Chains A and B, each alone.
Chain A
Amino acid sequence: MDATVSIQELRTAPDHARATTLALGVLLAVFVVASFLLGPSNLSPGELFSGLLSGHGPAGVIAREIRLPRAALGIVVGAALGASGAALQGLFRNPLAEPGVTGVTSSAGLGAVLALYFGLAASSAFLLPGFAVAGALMSAGILYLLSRCGAGAMALVLSGVAIASFATALTALALSLAQNPYAMSEMVLWMLGSLKDRTLSDLAFCAPLTIAGLLLLVSASRGLDALTLGEEAAQSLGVDVASVRGRVVVGVALATGAATAAAGAVSFVGLVVPHVLRRFYGYEPSRLILPSALGGAVLVTAADIAVRLIAPDGQLLLGVVTAMLGAPFFLWLILRLRSES
């Protein structure tokens, strides 16, 4: 065997990882600029960009206070959901695991609603995302415990459905009890998610929490690779499986909780993105996390553009578009998994 030659050959893995990452980066740049330029006010790109730089005049206000937060939140929310999906799928070794399907997003939404409508959010800016993260943590923890008790792929998804319904019901109850005249429309907003009318302060709490969550997920990535061989083999390879599990559950809760506190429950992003990208990254869980963040950002930004193009009056919600893409995909995935087993 000619080891010297093969080592050089092997280092360039025969998949399309680099090209895919590059393509995602270009797509994201294009979509973010498009998202920034798109809106009801008739401002030219030149006016918007100079407004963004100077901050003066109506163009400055629109560019900095409306367009920038919306475009940037699209990136952050998408990245949080995409990476969370990739990490959950790695941890549960199940392509159906995803923050939306497993009820983590709905639980985060419940936390946010509790903080918001019972006046807690007014007392401290950290309480709204804090409650959302706590909600996400609770549901991710329950799922994790179920999986430890030997719940299989389908059982996990079904438990996720139950958790999601329960959280949604409690959200509705909370909104009704809060005697909010806009309860119904607010409810829909939380359940389907939107990036409309977000402010820089939304970005200011969402981005750091998401980054912290992503760092935790990345720190668990080698452990996720080892889990490809099962828990005992991973442990025998020196992986602290309990720590990997904890990082993923907390990382997903931070990222998804922050994203949901800022944008409501945007579903299916974490399901579709890692699944589509996995083949380009050699099916290795560790290599999939950051590209899924990138892909999630692309998908959410694109969906947010679609929302504004389809219904310029702002009546269409972000989650409608992601669910219309994601739900059929989810069904197809279930059918495929059944035919495999």
Chain B
Amino acid sequence: MSVAFETVSASYGARPVLSGVTARFPRGAVTGIVGPNGAGKTTLFRAALGLMKTSSGSVKVLDKALPQWSREGLARSIAYLPQGSDAHWPLQARQLVALGRLPHRAAFASLSSVDWIAIDEALVRCDARQFGERRMDQLSAGERARVLFARALATAAPILLADEPAAYLDPAHQLRLMELLREEASRGTAVAVTLHDLALASRHCDQIVVLDRGQVAGQGAPEAALSDAALARVFGISAMHTPDPAGGRAALTPWTRL
């Protein structure tokens, strides 16, 4: 199991943000994490990265307990794309993607051919190579989001955690993003992604973890985890289901507020 949370609890000060969360991000699968605002989706990622102290329970990364990981080893194992990522300086897009290679580089070593190939490949896969030479402040929000995603891919880690990567993308690039996540998973990567868009989550994820006020409210295949009962209970909505004429999963569209 790539990432395993075992009855994990955590709090910001006195406010509990995760209570007894047990969840898994298996390798080779895309795990979608959904839940209302403040449900603890980001905190779950932060707990996996060791950025957040847990008060009880255990987190295992690649079957090794989190405290046993070295800083560098963990950085090579998990690529993390935080929510609302942006570049604070207008670096050239390619140089920004190059930051994803930091965990693989010795101190003061310059980029190797392996690094450059990983950078170029990440740019190509994110459909961003054509503006690799441009500065970040000369790109649109959607283009920047693709470059930042390429930065996470460039690390080539066995685990990829992406927090709301679809937020600034147009529909075509949202679908491209989900394909990319699928590609990553088919290479054996454990992919976990938080999504507000339930339609994307239900159609493109292998399994869904539904978080509600810091607790797991459902976990499993999209049809089961995003059942009408779960949607009503957790999100307070009802959804419309449209069958896929091609025989795939039915589309889920949030329809009315209950």
> Which residues of A are at the interface with B, using a C-beta cutoff of 8 A?
1, 3, 6-7, 10-11, 13-15, 93, 222, 225-230, 232-233, 235-240, 278, 282-285
Contact = CB atoms under 8 A, between A and B. Distances in A.
Interface residues of B, number: 41
B100 A237 contact: yes
Contact of A228 (B51, B78, B99): B99
B74 A238 contact: yes
Contacts of A233: 80-82, 85
B82 A284 contact: no
B213 interface: no
A227 B76 CA distance: 17
Contacts of B82: 229-230, 232-233, 236
B85 A236 contact: no
A237 B102 contact: yes
A238 B116 contact: no
26 contacts: A1-B124, A3-B120, A10-B120, A13-B92, A222-B107, A226-B102, A228-B87, A228-B88, A228-B96, A229-B85, A229-B88, A229-B151, A230-B88, A232-B46, A233-B82, A233-B85, A236-B51, A236-B75, A236-B78, A237-B75, A237-B99, A237-B100, A237-B102, A282-B91, A283-B92, A284-B89
Interface in B29-71: 46, 49, 51, 71
Contacts of A7: 113, 116-117, 120
Instruction: Give 4 closest A-B pairs by Cβ, nearest first.
Output: A238-B75, A236-B80, A93-B88, A283-B89
Contact of A232 (B51, B72, B103, B117): B51
B135 interface: yes
Contacts of A236: 49, 51, 75, 78-80, 82
Nearest to A92: B88
Given A3-B117, A226-B102, A233-B82, A282 B71 contact: no
A59 B113 CA distance: 56
B90 interface: yes
A312 to B, nearest CB: 42
Given A240-B71, A282-B92, A283-B89, A14 B102 contact: no
B129 interface: yes
Contacts of A282: 91-92, 95
A161 B135 CA distance: 33
Given A13-B92, A226-B99, A227-B88, 5 more contacts: A225-B99, A229-B88, A233-B81, A237-B155, A282-B92
A238 B102 contact: yes
A156 to B, nearest CB: 14
Nearest to B163: A232
**Most chain A C-beta atoms within 10 Å of own C-beta, residue among B79, B102, B107, B151:** B102
Nearest to B80: A236
A333 B168 CA distance: 29
B133 interface: yes
A175 to B, nearest CB: 40
